[in-house]
Amino acid sequence: MPGELIDGKKIADEVRAELTSRIASLAARGVVPGLAAIIVGEDPGSKLYVKMKGKASEEMGLAHWTVELPETVSEARLLGEVARLNSDPKVHGILVQQPLPPQIRVDRAVAAVDPRKDVDCFHPTNVGLVLIGRPRFAPATPAGVVELLLRSGHDPGGKDVVIAGRSNIVGKPLAALLMQKAKGANATVTVVHSGTRDLSAHTRRAEILVAAMGSPRFIKADMVRDGVVVIDVGINRIADSTAKGGYRTVGDVDFDAVRAKAKAISPVPGGVGPMTIAMLLTNTVRAAELLGEA
Ligand code: NAD
């Protein structure tokens, strides 16, 4: 029997439905949560993500704006736009879509966002709050992974969780969330990465395996144990002449073969992607609530 499918679209819809009463309470006080995205250049993936975030905001009755800057934009100009959004009271959440071109220092861009509006949870202050277990915002993709696990009945408490990938966006903050002494966390976390010797020896131990490497179908069936729960964060475009547009999207997991051994697995697309957006909307609503209290 192939493993059960962890339906990210369905679970994201649940998370989004739970936001409606909070959005209504804000509306009763005359507040419409607003999300502003800055996008630099023409990267098709980034454009698609920003478009999806805007569409989701609209569906939920949130305000949203997209600031489009040219690939050649200076760091000073970008920081100027961030400062403008920081001081705009209609804007509760700001995200600077990555990747950024080489003339922009990512750490400068990330640190320029007002931490109270940092709905991506990339600002060093907010990253620190996550690490000490007192998050202001939950980092969107990692929090989406945790929600997928909990709401599909796979509480990570006490489990051996292996995360493949140590980026500041996914691997590291996910490790920080899962290792907390808290309900829905409390896992024994191993992070494997490009410097790991014998990666399979670790992944085969995992009761829960999270793949966040950006390497198409890297995790094969012989790298997992029977009954594993797999969350696939990867989003990779691979050439496919039979697909519309000449490419299709796959995860970091060799889906069919791994599913055959797994207890449960999240697909790509339709797994972590919709959850990331749902958590971003949650953070924007939270930002509006917190700014209203300040
Ligand atoms: P990244 O490139 O910043 O980090 C990848 C990490 O994987 C690195 O730490 C690297 O050490 C590790 N890695 C890569 N290849 C490896 C190998 N062969 N062996 C061991 N370790 C290896 O990427 P990221 O930003 O963390 O994103 C990872 C993937 O997740 C990408 O496919 C990205 O598109 C996707 N992603 C999806 C969402 C979503 O909402 N679903 C959000 C963010 C990222």
CB atoms within 10 A of CB 248: 14
Closest listed residue to residue 53, CA positions, set 140, 136, 114 = 140
Q: Among 77, 96, 114, identify where a domain stops.
A: 114
Pocket test for ligand 1, best of 167, 197, 266, 280 (most atoms within 8 A of CB): 167
CATH code for the domain in which residue 41 is found = 3.40.50.10860
Q: Among 97, 114, 131, identify where a domain stops.
A: 114
- Residue 216 to residue 120: CA distance in whole angstroms: 25
Residue 265 contacts residue 8 (beta carbons within 8 Å): no
The answer to whether position 158 is within a domain reads yes
Instruction: Calculate how far, in angstroms, residue 165's C-alpha sits from the geometric centre of ligand 1.
Output: 5
Partners of 5 in the β-ladder:
265
Maximum CA pair distance of the chain?
A: 56
Residue with CA nearest ligand 1 atom 15 = 213
**Are 153 and 110 in a shared domain?**
no
Residue 170 contacts residue 218 (beta carbons within 8 Å): no
Residue 85 contacts residue 116 (beta carbons within 8 Å): no
**Are 181 and 267 in a shared domain?**
yes
- Residue 193 to residue 174: CA distance in whole angstroms: 14
**Are 173 and 108 in a shared domain?**
no
The answer to whether position 186 is within a domain reads yes
Residue 38 contacts residue 97 (beta carbons within 8 Å): yes
The answer to whether position 34 is within a domain reads yes
**Are 77 and 177 in a shared domain?**
no
DSSP code, position 113: S
- Tokens 């003339």, residue? 103
Residues with CB under 6 A from ligand 1: 141, 164-167, 169-171, 193-194, 196, 199, 212-215, 218, 233-236, 272-273, 276
pLDDT value for 45? 87
- Residue 111 to residue 100: CA distance in whole angstroms: 14
- Residue 237 to residue 220: CA distance in whole angstroms: 18
pLDDT value for 1? 86
**Are 74 and 178 in a shared domain?**
no
**Are 147 and 268 in a shared domain?**
yes
Q: What share of the chain is helix, strand, coil (3-state, %, to 5)?
A: 45, 15, 40
**Are 108 and 145 in a shared domain?**
no
Kindly report the pTM of this predicted structure: 0.97
**Are 66 and 150 in a shared domain?**
no
CA 260 to chain centre: 26
List the Cα angle 38/44/49 in 5-degree steps.
55
- Tokens 């649940």, residue? 14
The answer to whether position 243 is within a domain reads yes
pLDDT value for 293? 77
Which residues have a Cβ under 8 Å from the Cβ of 48 and sit 6 or more positions away?
A: none
The answer to whether position 219 is within a domain reads yes
- Residue 250 to residue 237: CA distance in whole angstroms: 6
Pairing of strands 264-265, 208-211: unpaired
Which residues have a Cβ under 8 Å from the Cβ of 30 and sit 6 or more positions away?
A: none
Q: How many domains does the chain have?
A: 2
Q: Which 3 state secondary structure label does DSSP give 15?
A: helix
The answer to whether position 128 is within a domain reads no
CATH code for the domain in which residue 238 is found = 3.40.50.720
Per-residue pLDDT of the chain (294 residues; tens, 9 = 90+): 899 999 999 999 999 999 999 999 999 999 999 999 999 999 988 999 999 999 999 999 999 999 999 999 999 999 999 999 999 999 999 999 999 999 999 999 999 999 999 999 999 999 999 999 999 999 999 999 999 999 999 999 999 999 999 999 999 999 999 999 999 999 999 999 999 999 999 999 999 999 999 999 999 999 999 999 999 999 999 999 999 889 999 999 999 999 999 999 999 999 999 999 999 999 999 999 999 876
**Are 160 and 63 in a shared domain?**
no
The answer to whether position 6 is within a domain reads no
CA 247 to chain centre: 23
**Are 145 and 105 in a shared domain?**
no
**Are 184 and 222 in a shared domain?**
yes
**Are 172 and 253 in a shared domain?**
yes
Give residue 183's domain range: 140-272
Residue with CA nearest ligand 1 atom 18 = 194
Catalytic residue IDs: 53, 97, 120
The answer to whether position 9 is within a domain reads no
